[in-house]
Structure 1
């Protein structure tokens, strides 16, 4: 099974990883894993002011801060995962990456807001569910 682990460095991503360790179906060497994160784009004026190379380095550094601990965690559980990131809206980026990569499942943590909370604040999980044609497992 090809599994996409969508992470953002939050405690909800950590809870999702903890959930995986208690469910051997999801965390085993027979599956192929990709750890993915999305970085919000910098404002156009900021990108223009600092230059393309600095912006690219910034995105790489910020994403590595999120991806490295997850990759290290998975290696401790004998899982050698690929990692990837994109710049853009998190929900849409996750959904597009999952479909392009032909994944069988997306697993991600969720803040667990109420329906009213989602209306007021929005939710990456809601965006992924709305845009993704791949099955999604949300871990609260």
Structure 2
């Protein structure tokens, strides 16, 4: 099975990994894993002031802060995963990658905002479900 793990470095991502580690059918060396992290873009003024090289380095360092511990966790379970990250809207990027990458399953933690919170702030989960035809396993 080809599985996409969407992570943001939060406690919700850690809960998702803990859930996977207790379900041998989901966390097994026979599957192909991609761990994906989406970062919000910096404001245009900040990018202009800092320059492209500095902004690119910043995004790479931030992605490494999220992906390195997850890679280490998976290696402890005997799993080599592909690591990937992009800058942009998390919900849109995750949903599109799940479909274009032809994944069998997308697994992600859910922050569990209230309905009012989702209306005000939007929800990455809602955006993913709107942009994705791949089955999604949400871990709360």
Q: Distance in 2 between matches of 1:35 and 1:41?
A: 19
Quote the residue 1:32 is aligned against.
Answer: 32
Deviation at 1:121, TM superposition (A): 2.6
Structure 2 unaligned regions, length at least 5: none
Quote the residue 1:45 is aligned against.
Answer: 45
Q: Distance in 1 between matches of 2:93 and 2:79?
A: 24
Quote the residue 1:19 is aligned against.
Answer: 19
Deviation at 1:91, TM superposition (A): 0.4
Q: 2:132 aligned with 1:132, yes or no?
A: yes
Deviation at 1:51, TM superposition (A): 1.1
Q: State the 4+ residue runs in structure 1 displaced beyond 4 angstroms.
A: none
Quote the residue 2:6 is aligned against.
Answer: 6
Q: Mean alpha-carbon deviation: is it higher for 29-38 or for 91-100? A: 91-100
Deviation at 1:115, TM superposition (A): 2.5
Root mean square deviation of aligned Cα? 0.9
Q: How does 1:49-60 map to 2 (within 5 A)?
A: 49-60=49-60
Deviation at 1:101, TM superposition (A): 1.2
What CA deviation, in whole Å up to 9, does each residue of 1:37-91 have, x standing for no partner? 0010011111111111111111100011000110000000001001000100000
Q: Distance in 2 between matches of 1:103 and 1:124?
A: 18
Quote the residue 2:85 is aligned against.
Answer: 85
Deviation at 1:122, TM superposition (A): 1.7
Q: Distance in 2 between matches of 1:27 and 1:127?
A: 26
Deviation at 1:118, TM superposition (A): 1.7
Aligned length: 140
Q: Distance in 2 between matches of 1:80 and 1:134?
A: 22
